[in-house]
Amino acid sequence: MPVSDSGHEASRARAVRLQRYLAEAGFGSRRACELLIREGRVAVGGADAEIGCTVIPGVDHVTVDGRTVAAERKEYWLLHKPIGVVSTSKDTHGRRTVVDVVPARGRVFPVGRLDMDTTGVLVLTNDGSLAHALLHPSREVTKEYEARVSGRVTARERERLQSGVQLEDGPTLPAEVEVLRQSHDECRVRLRLREGRKRQVRRMLKAVGHEVISLHRTRFGPLGIEGLPPGGCRELSDEEIRSLWEAAGAAPEEAFHV
């Protein structure tokens, strides 16, 4: 789909991919926004949008489900995710979501996911560019977890986790693994990963013979949740937002003005 003909080269220079525009407007990650486009829920200038098309912020009229898309004030939240809450914006089964916990002024979405039974650090925002940078596999943003597992973790098993284990979706990257405490029938370990596949920590530990009893994410990039009780949340400071960009090895992009 061609960009709207405004007749101004300056405006054309501001053209951006539609999925990025939607992400910046708070409709989720770029991947989630691509899905909206594929489902036929997005229109530009009254015509159904296509993957790969570009728009000019402030010039092209963009709608999602018939409603005009407008830029939202950026929000950045840190949540100590409690157990029993799902890491989605909406849940078809009516379960409580992380978005329900955070008192955001506008629409926000979680950056990545934690299982319903996993607790700990979770960032929510409507900044699609930052979310994309943090989640892109090439950025290798560090995530730190503490897991309580059945049985004793041996030195050999620790070495396997550190060098990478084979999962059904391929081998894992090398991880940092530290045994914190052991008893005769269970162990507490700390793992630092540079990737974020679905249920990765649980699958890695199962691959070396251990079922996870409980799992807690202690850090996401530079952020921890010191001082936040389960279910507690707060807005990030400017310094913390900058630290997330730095962790992703990227620079903040200019905001759109619609």
Question: Active-site residues: which are they?
Answer: 115
What residues contact residue 136 under an 8 Å CB cut-off, 6+ apart? 248
Burial class (CB in 10 A: 0-12, 13-18, 19+), 125: buried
Return the axis-axis angle of helices 30-38 and 128-135, rounded to nearest 10°. 110
Match 């979770």 to its residue by tokens.
122
Give 21's strand partners: none
Residue 162 in tokens = 């550190």
In total, the chain counts a number of residues equal to: 258
In which element (H, E) is residue 25 found?
none
In which element (H, E) is residue 112 found?
none
CA distance 258 to 64: 15
Q: DSSP readout, 48-91? A: E--TT-EE-TTTS-EEETTEEP------EEEEEEPTT-BSSS--
Q: Taking a C-beta distance cutoff of 8 angstroms, is the pair 132, 23 a contact?
A: yes
CA distance 32 to 14: 23
